[in-house]
Amino acid sequence: MAKVKPLLKILASVWIVYNICALMVMPNVGSYFGRTASKFVGPYANLVGLNAGWNFFSPEPAHPMYLKVVVNYPENEDGSYRDPLITAYPDPESEAKTVSLTRKREWAVMRFMVMDPRRLRQIFGPWLCRQYPGAESVDMEHVIETIPLLDEAVLNREVNLLEMSQERRYAKASVHCNSSGDEESL
């Protein structure tokens, strides 16, 4: 009988720890850790009703997005063309030079502008024309760089994350700098 008590304590402790693990894993079975660990606790959790999901962990990170801007210049007097200026808004190179409040405003403006492509043509395009004097036209394109899912990154460890990333293009607009924007039509 003296040998049975320590064995019962050990088994009860293991059962309690296993239940706590099931309680921690099953509410967020959609996460990477949940999918990995669910094969060990899933059958038990399904049997006793601990398989309800709560999704209390943070979501996937946001995909980086920006406006690709191409500033086109007119033909020179000698018949040659000036190379178009290709940049982005918000400019990723100015990140180290700009305070974070200004960066947040730039991101907010960019997101607001791409919600309706008319805003790109009627507000943002004329503003860019004023930023680049002498420009003939400005082409804008909303670009989102996708971040690979954690499962995909784990399966392809030898591949660089930047190589797995894909660019998705959405809103597009072109503005001729000679014409004026019409905010009234928004």
Select the more confidently predicted residue: 139 or 180: 139
Select the more confidently predicted residue: 127 or 29: 127
Could you tell me if 37 and 82 lie in one domain? Answer: no
Could you tell me if 101 and 136 lie in one domain? Answer: yes
Residue 173 included in any domain: yes
Could you tell me if 170 and 110 lie in one domain? Answer: yes
Residue 57 included in any domain: no
Mean pLDDT of 179-184: 54
User: Tens digits of per-residue pLDDT, 101-110?
Assistant: 677 788 788 8
Boundaries of domain holding 8: 4-48
Residue 53 included in any domain: no
Residue 180 included in any domain: yes
Cis status of the peptide bond prior to 59, with omega within 30 of 0: no
Residue 54 included in any domain: no
User: Tens digits of per-residue pLDDT, 35-91?
Assistant: 888 888 888 888 887 776 555 555 566 677 888 999 999 888 887 888 899 998 887
Residue 99 has a pLDDT of 63
Could you tell me if 36 and 69 lie in one domain? Answer: no
DSSP per residue, the chain: -TTHHHHHHHHHHHHHHHHHHHHHHGGGTTSHHHHHHHHHHHHHHHHHT-------S--PPPPPEEEEEEEE-PBPTTS-BPPPEEEEES-GGGTTTS-HHHHHHHHHHHHHHHTSHHHIIIIIHHHHHHHSTT-SEEEEEEEEEPPPPHHHHHHTTTS-HHHH--EEEEEEEEEETTSPP-GGG-
The answer, yes or no, to whether residue 186 has pLDDT greater than 50, is: no
Select the more confidently predicted residue: 157 or 130: 130
Measure the CA–CA gap between 174 and 95, rounded to whole angstroms.
26
Q: Which of 26-30, 52-56, 173-177 has the highest mean pLDDT?
A: 173-177
Rounded alpha-carbon distances, angstroms, from residue 28 to 47, 57, 58: 17, 7, 10
- pTM of the full structure: 0.59
Could you tell me if 108 and 151 lie in one domain? Answer: yes
Number of domains in the chain: 2
Residue 183 has a pLDDT of 52
State the chain's mean pLDDT as an integer: 80
Could you tell me if 76 and 148 lie in one domain? Answer: yes
Could you tell me if 83 and 43 lie in one domain? Answer: no
Could you tell me if 13 and 91 lie in one domain? Answer: no
Could you tell me if 21 and 97 lie in one domain? Answer: no
Percent of the chain whose pLDDT exceeds 70: 84
Residue 59 included in any domain: no
Residue 127 included in any domain: yes
Could you tell me if 116 and 83 lie in one domain? Answer: yes
Could you tell me if 43 and 69 lie in one domain? Answer: no
Could you tell me if 31 and 76 lie in one domain? Answer: no
Residue 139 has a pLDDT of 93
Residue 13 has a pLDDT of 94
